[in-house]
A and B are shown apart, each in its own frame.
Chain A
Amino acid sequence: MDFLSFRTQLSHEGTYIGRTPMSVHKTKYIKSDSYDNLLTEVNHLMVPKQTFSCFVVDRVKYSGVELPYTYTIICIYKEVQNVYGLEAIKAYNGWAMAVTGAVIVMIGLSVLSFIISQLHRITDIVDNRNARKLKKSNVQSAADVSASQPVLPPLSDLGETMNHFKLLTQEVGDTFDLAALFQIFIHHDDPHPHLTIRSLREQGYLVSAGEGLFSWKHQ
């Protein structure tokens, strides 16, 4: 058996190398140059009456390669009587663990429940504030646009709108997709590009040319 296998076997047997238990009652140092002796000693501590933690603290090599290593293992363990029923629950602090655990999970999920019940209100408040800001800036920009930009044909006169943009779409060809048209509208500061395109479609000024492309209605 090599050192790694030895450690692995300790782990498999239920020991936790390098960790200390919460309650320490007894400590035992086991020193040997034989793995088998060490394991026998450790197993002796590992009767069901005990909880424990073992870890290798030292690995000393005697001078000369032919001599074996010597290991020191500290086993810290808490002796507990083999108890059952209410006595066992009390001995292992079971009541406290159960009540505390139950209360924590109940409070945790109640708080989460309360927060998510208010979440839509918070997002609504934020959305409303943003909407008010957007509306304000739209009114401002609309006023700016009307003062500085050439007037676009009114949406109610779709025929004129079509003629207006027909000239602008000449560069993309007779057929075009709606995304390209949308970009042209944006570029020419149409305040409602979606609405305009939708109205043109519904009124038949924009006609499908197949394969996702559109063209202007022939007049």
Chain B
Amino acid sequence: MFKKRFLTPYLFLTPALIIIAIFIIYPIVAVIYYSFTDFSIVTPPEWVGLRNFQQLVNDPVFWQALLHSFIYLLVTPVLIILCIILAIIVNRKLPGIHIFRAIYYIPVISGSIAVGICWRLMFDTNGLLNSILLSLGIIVEPIQWLAEPAYTLPIAMLLTIWMGLGYYMMVFLAGLQNIPEELYDAALIDGCNNWQKHWHISVPGLRPQITFIVVISSLAAIEVFNEIYILYGPLGGVLNSGVTMVFYLWRQAFRLQHAGYASAVAIVLLVITLAFSIGNIRYLERGSEAA
């Protein structure tokens, strides 16, 4: 009887454990192994010890990619601020507000390839943006936005923000609707203006959502790939200006066929994201307890 009761939970866990083992544990173990090998995907791996990691340390493009990934984290605070403002705006009971909420959500459900093509057309030398700037007399010659290293990351970051705005706004909107209305009434009686009302009630009330979004959006930012690929293609922008960690990993694995080296990059990325996530959660939880 005891044995049966002991085994039952494991029996229920087995299907999930099998899936986790196949799709998470095995790939992680395999990547750790490959990171110590010279492996070109199409040929069998050959053990090289720490050579890939030594090569990483001396690889300027890897450091450039790491820097770009950290720069990309700037999208997180921008997203949070913009989304909270948007959520507060669409939280009002105005006629047709549902239409606005739906419009803001459209980029989230749009296909990334279609979005990428639209953005490429917009930033093209002969595209919409240059046409507007030229017609307003702001520029006298078209700017080659997609071939200027200085604009590579900002354009990709703008795209990330635009695509994520609707989803994160919905999360904040749900959070705002859970804040009791009485708190705002009390604040009004106390003489708070609109800004003070939101700063002292809405923002603290949204702390769980902020924690959640900081973690997921910063992880998404540090692992960015799609936006770079769809805007700049397999080269990742001129002079590696758009090459991020995951993009570099992809290039090494699938263009140059250095899967062993790419695995070493993946291990570094894993360590960074783990450390980053743990640090983020601890910091925000500590803040929550203090509040």
Q: Are A and B part of the same complex?
A: no
Interface residues of A (CB under 8 A from B): none
Interface residues of B (CB under 8 A from A): none
